[in-house]
Amino acid sequence: MVLRSCAKSRAPATANPQVSGCPRVAAGWQVRPRTVGCLPATVGKIAATTYWMHPAIPSRVWNYSMDWGMQNRLAGIISPTTRRCVMLAVDHGYFQGPTSGLEQPGKVVAPLLPFADALMLTRGVLRNCIAPDCRVPIVLRVSGGTSVLQDDLSNEDLTVSIEDAVRVNASALAISIFVGSEHEKQTLANLARLCDEGQRYGIPVLAVTAVGKQMTRDARYLGLACRIAAELGAHIVKTYHCEGFEKVVAGCPVPVVIAGGKKIEEREALLLAYRAVSEGAVGVDMGRNIFLSNWPVSMIQAVRSIVHEGSTDVQAWEAFVEMAGQRGALHMTQVVPS
């Protein structure tokens, strides 16, 4: 193993369109003026009156044909200022039980809440572990029915009534779809039914494009799953980052957030977040790479700086190291395989 400083290991992306060779301009991004009443999806604020527009990103994160309640709930999740979102996912127990790092979800979540735009979890954890004075919008997991003991996780149903979602003041409803799995039709029908219910009550739906064991997480498959989710009525789609992610975003007419996936080094997770938002995601719905970090509060803050403040992964890593260092002996080094 080699210990090396990683602060300068990658040049930060030039975020100034005036500078020749700006990678965003080269990639077709545009700098647009901010206009009152216009709700463009933005990527990386560069000045108070302008924003970066990725060529592939949907031009709006919501539209005015939506009812006020639907718009209001979406605005609580995706910031109307940055058009971005840091969602904290702690719903893993719905099929994994007391999974590592989430044995006591209330304790894990409490210090992270000030930095989360939304909290994704089940009604059981919400009612039992989260204080009801919580002001963070709730994205309620409403699908389930299988456990990790099954080979096939796709056999899901809707597990929460719309009345109960309203009762807990859910800002969005989250459901998994398993495109290409044995229960594909059932999970897509669940999504369509949930969108009808959400539409009736003004509650947006987040579709999670879960990947079956045989499915490859590539742009072709994830693009298919995301587009189908949007076609069936999802208001936000959660998927994985992949090579060619821009194509996934380009083919999906609603905002896309990425899952973090399995725990990886913090440095790599920050790069993942940076690449995702640079390639058109409106943000992250991240779980393990935050709550399994030894420095979860520093980690969510670093992710937040990428998503909302236009930090590069390098800048976010430097900030992470500084914050984590203050919280407990982390040096400006990264362990990399020799």
Residue 22 has φ and ψ, to the nearest 5°, of -55, 120
Q: For residues 91 and 313, which CB has a smaller minimum distance to ligand 5RP in the complex?
A: 91
Question: Per the residue annotation, which of 238, 247, 262, 263 is the catalytic one?
Answer: 238
Q: Which stretch binds ligand 5RP (CB under 6 A): 24-32, 85-93, 104-112, 156-164?
A: 85-93
The only residue of 180, 251, 261, 325 in contact with ligand 5RP, by rule CB under 6 A: 261
- C-alpha separations of 55 from 28, 38, 94, 278 in Å: 6, 17, 37, 11
Q: Is 238 a catalytic residue?
A: yes
CB of 100 to ligand 5RP, least distance (A): 11
Q: Is 145 in the site for ligand 5RP (CB under 6 A)?
A: no
Please give the Cα distance from 134 to 169 (Å, whole number).
11
User: Of the two residues 45 and 308, which places its CB atom closer to ligand 5RP in the complex?
Assistant: 308
CA atoms within 13 A on the CB side of 244: 10
| The one segment of 6-14, 26-34, 105-113, 259-267 that binds ligand 5RP by CB under 6 A | 259-267
| Binding of residue 212 to ligand 5RP (CB under 6 A) | no
Q: State yes or no: residue 130 binds ligand 5RP (CB under 6 A).
A: no
Would you give the DSSP letter of residue 152?
-
259: part of which helix (H) or strand (E)? strand 256-259
The number of beta carbons lying within 10 Å of the beta carbon of residue 119 is: 24
**Within its chain, how far is the Cα of 189 from the centroid?**
23
- Verify binding: residue 247, ligand 5RP, rule CB under 6 A: no
Stretch that binds ligand 5RP, among 87-95, 132-140, 185-193, 249-257 (CB under 6 A): 87-95
- Indicate whether 187 belongs to the interface with ligand 5RP (CB under 6 A): no
Query: C-alpha distances in angstroms, 118 versus 83, 172, 221, 300?
Result: 14, 9, 27, 12
28/97 with CB nearer ligand 5RP: 97
Helix (H) / strand (E) element for 125: namely: helix 123-129
- 175 is a site residue for ligand 5RP (CB under 6 A): no
Q: In terms of C-beta density within 10 A (0-12 exposed, 13-18 middle, 19 or more buried), how is residue 38 classed?
A: exposed
Q: What are phi and psi of 275, to 5 degrees?
A: -65, -40
CA-derived radius of gyration, the chain = 19
Q: Judged by CB, which is closer to ligand 5RP: 53, or 89? A: 89
# residues contacting ligand 5RP (CB under 6 A): 14
Among 288, 306, 313, 324, binds ligand 5RP (CB under 6 A): 288
To ligand 5RP, the closest distance from the beta carbon of 30 in angstroms equals 30
Q: Does 176 bind ligand 5RP (CB under 6 A)?
A: yes
Is 119:105 a contact under the CB 8 Å cutoff? no
Of the candidate spans 49-57, 59-67, 125-133, 257-265, the one that interacts with ligand 5RP by CB under 6 A turns out to be 257-265
Considering the rule CB under 6 A, would residue 89 count as an interface residue with ligand 5RP?
Answer: yes
Instruction: For the CB of residue 287, give the shortest distance to ligand 5RP in the complex, in Å.
Output: 3
If the CB atoms of residues 42 and 171 are measured against ligand 5RP, the closer one turns out to be 171
Query: Residue from 39, 74, 85, 120 that binds ligand 5RP (CB under 6 A)?
Result: 120
d(Cα 143, Cα 175) in Å, to the nearest integer?
5
Q: How far is CA 48 from CA 81, 149, 173, 187, in A?
A: 10, 51, 33, 43
Q: Which of 116, 226, 286, 302 binds ligand 5RP (CB under 6 A)?
A: 286
Label residue 187 left, alpha or beta by phi (over 0 means left) and psi (-120 to 50 means alpha): alpha
Residues taking part in catalysis = 238
What does the binding site for ligand 5RP look like in residue numbers (CB under 6 A)? 89, 91-92, 120, 176, 208, 210, 259-261, 286-289
